[in-house]
Chain A
Amino acid sequence: MHLGLDPGKIRHAREIARAITEPILIKILAHTTDSVERATLRLMGLDGADEDDIPYPNILVRHLRDRLGEGLAPLVAQAAKDRGLSLRELAYGVSEEKIDLRDFQPADRDAAGAECERLLRENIRRVERQVAARDGFVRELGQGEPPWLYVIVATGNIYEDVVQAQMAARQGADIIAVIRSTAQSLLDYVPEGITTTGFGGTYATQANFRVMREALDEVSREVGRYIRLVNYASGLCMPEIAAMGALERLDMMLNDSMYGILFRDINPLRTFIDQHLSRMISAYARIIINTGEDNYLTTADAVEAAHTVLASDLINERFAHEAGLPADLMGLGHAFEVYPEMTDSYLYELAQALLIREVFPDHPIKFMPPTKHMTGDIFRGYALNAMFNFTGVLTGQSIQLLGMLTEAMHTPFLMDRALAINNARLMFNAARHLAENLEIKPHSWLLQRSAEVLDRAITMLERIAEIGLFQAIADGMFADIKRPPEGGKGGDGVVLKSADYANPLLKILTEKVHGRH
């Protein structure tokens, strides 16, 4: 089942994507953000919160707001060392207003950098141990055969999530995503501790990550298959959540270079800077990112906007590449969202699925289920999900987010999830080797359609390269949503790096990632 698209065109599309991201990368490297500095502090080993539940990384970053451009991590490392305090004790002192670091100057800036680097390296060993532990699990237990069955839990209570996640693994799920509490993406901090209440999901906290990871390790051994854990490195705390996920062995992170801008109205430059560090951390921790192109089709039409998905995948790919992510960690996204009652709607779906697979052959492609055209008719929904699952196995998608027959009615009931897994297993098993028996008819409509979408994506990318990505976003070229460059939340957290900006984390991540590949 090969479309045989023109490789020259695909290469050309990638070259334009590179031309688009290059000027953005210059800006990314010239700036830091609140969240970048907080993530660095976390990777130095700082966690915890004060009595008002304000996380210590936030306390220090707020305290040193005016000095963000210098890079806070060496200052903080040296200040703690000078006083013989742990980072947490230092942050506590600041929170109690007993320590004031605003005018603090390390006696020797190089020594401060070295102390910071020491703390980072010490703590980052834990990330390496987690990578080794994951490799060990996969070697020892094995893993599911792609398409991986990806399901969601979202009770709000991490302990209830554990029950449902373990049960889903026993039913055949390969991947468990814990949906975040609604609007967590707009919190400019990461909550602390184990949580048992949430709306439409469960708070992403480092403690919750740990609880779920332990439960999935337990059930992995039970079912004899490594079960992967997913959360969201998105919103205003992208790099921090990536850091916490790296420390607690998350296996995948929803992480898109533009989703926050478009769908959460987060400042564009803030998002670009934050996604870069979050992806550097993910590369280091061997975390697969999942991009969010499926969302475009919830606001724009899946037939008319098919090329925007491909164009965005190529931009996401290039940004990920710039951050050191190899193709095997790029879970680029697309979705099954064509209006099903249209004649030959399935041909459009098939053309798109084959196209994405062929343009990104080495990438663990993330295929998203129908949501927009799901109704309260659960029987029709179940049939649509069967078509979606059939397409996933036929076209060799890698990560199959299973559709729920009760989509948009309520968060999945336990039985909804079980039925979704039954559906996928039936289809995957029944059509496992179908594709190798088929080929696409020359000059068929499928070929024409996929070539047309590729051409339109190239035209779109050329236009973006011409006007710049910021302007393209401002013009509403993605998802029909317009976001001006100066607008959005979190823009005040973006700071120009001074000439002496210091952050040893960037060096450590870069040398390791590039050393490994």
Chain B
Amino acid sequence: MAVIRGKQLDLTKVRPYGDSINDGALQLSFTLPIPLTPEAVEAARQMAQKLGLRDPSVVHSQDLGGFSFFIVYGHTDRSVDMTQIQVPKVEGKVFSRPEADQEIRRRFGRLLVVVGACIGTDAHTVGIDAIMNMKGYKGHYGLERYVMIDARNLGAQVPPEALLDYAIKHRADAMLVSQVVTEKGFHRQNLSRMVELVEASGIRDHMILICGGPRIEHKLALELGYDAGFGRGTYAEHVASFIIDKMTERGLT
């Protein structure tokens, strides 16, 4: 058990850390749909109190021209038990790009076809481009740069039906489904719809189905019926390695 400033960190009771262990310090900001008055500031304080914050302090308020904006600090007495938390993760070795190419040659002896798109109304290509485009992201080259991967990035605002048709036509080994905007839960609907279509088409067993995006978690991906989900901080090599291993595990050739 870690000891910080003489106080013991109890992993069964972890609290936010502001400037001392277990102080439970939190910062939050929000808007109330009422003009800024002393009463509104008190309303903000009570709001924080009702959220369970001890000693809430409204450190800043601004009139927004009819509504009011607040920055509030406070402390929580709630805690979480770290010893009881389990998060599914994408397991396995991560191959470098040359290693991945070599593994594909060795295991499959052919190019793997990977198709990807950002589906539905989401217009952001940044996620799928980071994984697929030649240039990649933050110095991690994308799948297009892999000698043994035939990467086809269809871009953004691709209807799920069009992505599926393309995957079938080009006999895709893996499909990458990107969702960046998570507003109002549209991404869940889009991702579910994609799974339904893939399953109905009968190719689900022959294709690795992966989703990704800055706010996509592996856990959510599994729940929705994907083989994996890749979020922030994952790059082309993670995706490629997963595809190689998963295909092997499934006996795909």
Task: Say whether A and B bind each other.
Answer: yes
* Residues of A near any B CB (own CB < 8 A): 163, 166-171, 182-183, 199-200, 298-299, 301, 339, 372, 375-376, 408-411, 413-415, 418-419, 422, 481
Residues of A within 8 A of B125 (CB): 298-299
Residues of B within 8 A of A375 (CB): 214, 232
Contact of A415 with B31 in the complex, beta carbons under 8 Å: yes
- With A and B bound together, what is the CA distance between A183 and B214 in angstroms? 23
Within 8 A of A (CB), among B100-148: 121, 123-126, 129, 135, 138
Q: How far is the CB of A408 from chain B (nearest CB, A)?
A: 6
B37 within 8 A of A: no
Q: How far is the CB of A300 from chain B (nearest CB, A)?
A: 9
Within 8 A of A (CB), among B36-93: 62, 64-67, 69
Contact pick for A170, options B65, B129, B214, CB 8 Å: B65
* Residues of B near any A CB (own CB < 8 A): 29-31, 62, 64-67, 69, 121, 123-126, 129, 135, 138, 155, 157, 180-183, 186, 214-215, 232
Residues of A within 8 A of B186 (CB): 199
- With A and B bound together, what is the CA distance between A339 and B137 in angstroms? 10
Residues of A within 8 A of B215 (CB): 376, 409
Task: Name the residue of chain B whose CB is nearest to the CB of A372.
Answer: B126
Contact of B65 with A171 in the complex, beta carbons under 8 Å: yes
Q: How far is the CB of A222 from chain B (nearest CB, A)?
A: 9
Contact of A171 with B135 in the complex, beta carbons under 8 Å: no
Contact of B181 with A408 in the complex, beta carbons under 8 Å: yes
Known contacts A408-B180, A415-B30, A167 near B67 by CB under 8 Å: yes
Contact of A408 with B64 in the complex, beta carbons under 8 Å: no
Residues of A within 8 A of B62 (CB): 418, 422
- With A and B bound together, what is the CA distance between A411 and B168 in angstroms? 35
Q: How far is the CB of A200 from chain B (nearest CB, A)?
A: 6
Contact of B64 with A171 in the complex, beta carbons under 8 Å: yes
Residues of A within 8 A of B64 (CB): 167, 170-171, 414-415, 418
Contact of A301 with B135 in the complex, beta carbons under 8 Å: yes
Known contacts A200-B121, A375-B214, A376-B214, A410 near B65 by CB under 8 Å: no
Q: Which 8 A-B residue pairings sit nearest by Cβ, starting from the closest?
A: A170-B65, A182-B121, A167-B65, A410-B183, A415-B31, A415-B69, A418-B64, A414-B31
Contact of B182 with A409 in the complex, beta carbons under 8 Å: yes
Residues of B within 8 A of A411 (CB): 183
- Considering residues A166, A299, A408, which has the most beta carbons from chain B within 10 angstroms of its beta carbon? A408
- Considering residues A163, A375, A414, which has the most beta carbons from chain B within 10 angstroms of its beta carbon? A414
Q: How far is the CB of A177 from chain B (nearest CB, A)?
A: 16
Q: How far is the CB of B159 from chain A (nearest CB, A)?
A: 10
- With A and B bound together, what is the CA distance between A170 and B182 in angstroms? 30
Q: How far is the CB of B151 from chain A (nearest CB, A)?
A: 14
- Further 17 A-B residue pairs, CB within 8 A, beyond A200-B121, A375-B232, A410-B181: A163-B66, A167-B67, A168-B65, A170-B65, A182-B157, A183-B121, A200-B181, A299-B125, A408-B124, A409-B182, A409-B183, A410-B182, A411-B183, A415-B31, A415-B69, A418-B62, A419-B69
Contact of B126 with A414 in the complex, beta carbons under 8 Å: no
- With A and B bound together, what is the CA distance between A478 and B136 in angstroms? 19
Q: How far is the CB of A506 from chain B (nearest CB, A)?
A: 34
18 contacts between A and B (CB under 8 A): A166-B66, A167-B67, A169-B65, A170-B66, A171-B64, A171-B65, A200-B121, A372-B126, A408-B126, A408-B214, A409-B215, A410-B181, A414-B64, A415-B29, A415-B64, A418-B62, A419-B69, A422-B62
